[in-house]
Structure 1
Amino acid sequence: MNRRVQASQKRRRLTAAAARVLHEQGVERTTLADIAREADVPVGNVYYYFKTKDELVRAALSEHSAYLDELTGRLDELADPRDRLKALVQGWIDQRDLAARFGCPTGTLAVELDKRADGDLDAEAGAVIRRLLDWAGGQFRELGLPDPDGLALTLVAGYQGMSLLTNALRDPGVMSREGARLLRWLDSLEAAEASG
């Protein structure tokens, strides 16, 4: 394997590790050594690829964005936008144990970054959430429902709320119950569409 491929793989491991560790520990508690350990690379290598913790946070946000693109790409393979939205919610429910321990990866990072006095990383975290809102709005638009962007906001706000409460209460059941409520809500929108 050539050096360029090895360097690319090492950077990729560091980026994925940064996303995991920052989600689990938060920005302030995470050190570059924590990320190096998670990526199984010497700590000096972290500095080669990322000069500051903020660069690692930015890389973690890119990882969240790439994951969202991958997820929505898979969901877009489903023919019906209702099925896409329901599969999204089911995916959230399936992550309930992780949410109980650490909350939403992007949402918790956005909140933490907003409390910092410097930088623009909070806006970058918000941009990842905006992409989810835009995708969901597109699904509601495809269904022909009124106020698709408002419905997307309701859906994503529901997720962020249930994720926060699941984490705060350390109760995965909150995610299950509220996710089921979101699925029923989507069904009710289907019924409104069918009768309208």
Structure 2
Amino acid sequence: MTDSESAVTAGAARPGRSGRGGKRERLVQAAVQVFHEQGVERTTLGDIARTAEVPLGNVYYYFKTKDQLVEAAVDAHCARLGALTARLDALPDPAARLKELVAGWVGERATAARFGCPFGTLATELAKRDDGPDQAAAKAVRALLDWVESQFTQLGRADAAALAVELVAAHQGISVLTHTLRDPGLMAAQGERLREWIDGIAGR
């Protein structure tokens, strides 16, 4: 997600030099980017080091294994989700928050067309494992669902949990289609439908 968006399903910031303590941060941001673009299995520590502009030997000072970088990348997505929902919570009503969430997803449609949903693709890949990172990714997805559910609850919906699943699933589904067909317009059209759907639920 970007500032307006979802990790679990959001765009990765590009690594950049940031002074003291910056190497670890650059490595994490590079991992988020390269895992999104290439997938975990195809990515090497050398790929991440090159993207972060950090010597390969320095990587091992911060991360002994690629799995430690995977965990750090998941943590970064979780942090972005927390920051995003905090910003959205400042909006005046639940429907506006949900519509802004959708607008952020739509704003990342070009990235989704090239590489898929930033967090959704990572979570799907990690779900095939059972050694730790998969549980961290699942926790992040659950956090998103819980937040969306809370918005529908505030709208007075007894079926808030089901509506949350419907909204998040709609986004993940259109992300897959947008990526597979390389067509950002699909996500733009779906975003408009989802905003109208939210208005209907809110009685507008």
1:86, CA displacement in angstroms? 0.2
Alignment of 1:24 onto 2:4: no
1:72 maps to which of 68, 85, 105: 85
State the AA in 1 paired with 2:80: Y
Match of 1:162 in 2: 174
Structure 2-normalised TM-score? 0.87
Structure 1-normalised TM-score? 0.91
Q: Which runs of 5+ in 1 are unaligned?
A: none
SS in 2 for 1:186: helix
Alignment of 1:81 onto 2:86: no
Match of 1:153 in 2: 165
Write the deviation string for residues 15-51 of structure 1: whole angstroms up to 9, x where unpaired: 1111111011100111111111111111111111011
Q: Does the 8 Å CA contact 1:166/1:175 hold for their aligned counterparts?
A: yes
Alignment of 1:60 onto 2:99: no
Q: Which runs of 5+ in 2 are unaligned?
A: 1-18
CA-based RMSD of the aligned residues comes to: 1.3
1:182 maps to which of 171, 177, 194: 194
Query: Identity of paired residues, percent?
Result: 58
State the AA in 2 paired with 1:76: D
SS in 2 for 1:151: helix
Of 21-30 and 138-147, deviating more is 138-147
Q: Which runs of 4+ in 1 moved over 4 A?
A: none
1:184, CA displacement in angstroms? 1.2
Q: Which has the higher contact order (CA 8 A, sep 6+)?
A: 2
1:146, CA displacement in angstroms? 1.8
C-alpha separation in 1, matches of 2:106 and 2:78: 20
1:144, CA displacement in angstroms? 1.2
- Is the helix fraction higher in 1 or 2? 1
